[in-house]
Amino acid sequence: MFPNELVRQQKAKVRLAVGFGVAGVVVLGILFAVQEFPTPLWLWALFAVVFVFFEWNTVEVNDKLYASPSAMVIMTAAVAFGYESAVLGAAYMAALALLTPDDIRERRWFQPAVNFGQLVITVSAAAGVYVVVRGSEPVSTSNLWRVALASGIAAITYGFVNYQLVLFIVRSVYGHREANPWSHMTSILLPMTGMGFLGGLLGATYVLVGSASIPLIGIVFFTGYMAFESYAQLREAQLSTLAGFIKALEAKDLYTRGHTERVAYFANMIGQAMGFNGTQLEKLRWAALIHDVGKLAVPREVIRKKARLTDDEYGEMQAHVHHVEDLLNEVEFLRPMVDIASNHHAHFDGNGYHGSTGETGETPSLEARILAVADSFDAMTSTRSYRVALTQEYAFGELRKNAGSQFDPDVVEVFVSALSASGERYGSPIEISEEEARRRAEQGIGHSHAATESPHMDTNRGRGSEAAHG
């Protein structure tokens, strides 16, 4: 990046930090003059702690839905504090969340100053809207619908103002960056409204039932939160167990080390460039992780054999791979991924080896097509028993040459441009022809990561091109 661009960003950051800091302080000052501090104090302190906690730990329900419990806590507090002190109480709670543990550790000051102003403005706007819509009438059984409505509208305000401020900050610092303010709005506002609505009702519960409702609400949310945390942790454990395990099994064989990890990385890169969402990306990553697991059960001497396999050897290898696929199919949630993995040698035009589930002549799924490109690229750019690594350009050329027959042309183009844009390089650094690569392998040059996936396994036994090997 150009130095003057960095200087410009630095100046913009300072302006923002000062601007937001001052704005936050001014808002707090005005509120101090027009509203009263909420009573009881312990209730304010409790809400503040809970709010700060949720600001620091967002709960990710899934990739489409980011629940924001902090907006809910703000609405609960606003309703519980009442007309005279709703805005002041909520805004002062928000002011406390300015320092995150990360900021403190890294001694940043730009982020906290901006956060402070942003939160104070957002929360004051939301609580202000609530107070205006609801009016000064005390909460009672007959006007609960109005509490719920006002909290819902206030939560929409919260989401909207927060989003606009974030957008403003991003634009001021990185002026040229494009961002569409409406594309994500529904996914933010919808859960936000629900949370605000519920938050308002919980505040009303406190007003109508009394302080005994606090521990009850707290318990229900806390146990739910804990369960979600352990669920997320277990999910992570599952992924890392499989990944670690496959990595370890692979590492036992010097020759395939790192292949799976790289294929998963390339597949993820293509998926991202094609606009996959989190769920789809995760599915792709799992499929990439298990795409070669079947070969772990194949005897090394078969895998490393340089000559063409006999029919018996080929059959034995297929049987091993299918056995492992059967094993993984017993894991319910892996089934769709096993399907993708077992089809990754199928060609775009319907030829090629279709695994145990696919039909010859059928176009494989998009995920399988992505996996095919990622797998072949890594096969070409790493050293094999029968040739040393080829160059990245050569590999791109092979992918393009076979686009339309073996590979999906869209996937190939997306991959080539994504990898080129990333600036990363794979394969041999020096220009090398395929004949030269084979000759060097025979002489044992460049065998440091000698590899070896056999060229015989995929393909319809020889009918595939060099690019098919993987």
Partner 1 sequence: MAETRLRTISIISWLALAIAAVIFTVTGLSQAGIDQGAWISEALLWVTAITLVSLLSVPAPSGSRISLGIGAIVAASILTQEVTAFAAATAAALAIAWVFQRRIDTWSHRTDGDFLSDALAAAVFGATYVYMEELFLGWGLSDDAWTVVGAVAIGGLAWFIVRALVAAFVGVERTDLAGRYLWLLALEDWAVVVSILAAGTLFGLTWPVMNVWAFAVAVLPYAFGHLAFERYHSTRVTYGQTIRALAQIPEVAGLAPRGHSTRTADLAVAVAQELGLHPNDVIQLEYAALMHDVGRITLNEPAILKAGYTDEDIARWGAQIIAEAPYLEHVSALVEQQHRPYRSPGIEIDPDVPMASKIIKVASAYDQAQIEMGLSPVEALEKIHQGSAYEFDPQVAASLRRVLVFRGAIPY
Least spacing, CB of residue 446 vs partner 1, in Å: 22
**For partner 1, the closer CB: 191 or 470:** 191
Q: Are 258 and 383 in contact (CB under 8 A)?
A: no
**For partner 1, the closer CB: 163 or 197:** 197
**For partner 1, the closer CB: 140 or 360:** 140
Q: Are 159 and 194 in contact (CB under 8 A)?
A: no
Structure tokens, 203: 């505040």
Least spacing, CB of residue 389 vs partner 1, in Å: 23
Least spacing, CB of residue 58 vs partner 1, in Å: 14
**For partner 1, the closer CB: 57 or 230:** 230
**For partner 1, the closer CB: 14 or 219:** 219
List residues near partner 1 by CB under 8 A. Answer: 141, 144, 148, 197-198, 201-202, 204-205, 208-213, 215-217, 219-221, 223-224, 226-228, 230-231, 234-238, 240-245, 247-249, 251-253, 293, 296-301, 320, 323-324, 327-328, 330-334
Beta strands in 55-160 (DSSP E): 59-62, 65-67
Structure tokens, 368: 């399988």
Least spacing, CB of residue 327 vs partner 1, in Å: 4
Least spacing, CB of residue 146 vs partner 1, in Å: 12
**For partner 1, the closer CB: 332 or 435:** 332
Of 215, 47, 17, which Cα lies nearest the Cα of 127? 47
**For partner 1, the closer CB: 233 or 443:** 233
**For partner 1, the closer CB: 300 or 308:** 300
Structure tokens, 409: 């042309």
Phi and psi, residue 391, nearest 5°: -80, 165
Least spacing, CB of residue 214 vs partner 1, in Å: 10
Least spacing, CB of residue 211 vs partner 1, in Å: 8
Distance of CA 335 to the CA centre of its chain: 22
Structure tokens, 320: 């091993």
DSSP string, 404-466: TTTB-HHHHHHHHHHHHHHT---B-SS---HHHHHHHHHHTTT-TT-----TTSSTTTT-S-G
Least spacing, CB of residue 195 vs partner 1, in Å: 10
**For partner 1, the closer CB: 28 or 144:** 144
Q: How many CB atoms lie within 10 A of CB 75?
A: 31
Residue 458 pairs with which residues in a beta bridge?
Answer: none
Distances from the Cα of 201 to the Cαs of 8, 62, 222, 409, in angstroms? 47, 25, 18, 54
Structure tokens, 249: 């099994």
Least spacing, CB of residue 167 vs partner 1, in Å: 29
Report the alpha-carbon distance of residue 273 to residue 374 in Å, rounded: 13
Report the alpha-carbon distance of residue 122 to residue 94 in Å, rounded: 9
DSSP string, 21-63: HHHHHHHHHHHHHHSPPPSSHHHHHHHHHHHHHHHHS-EEEET
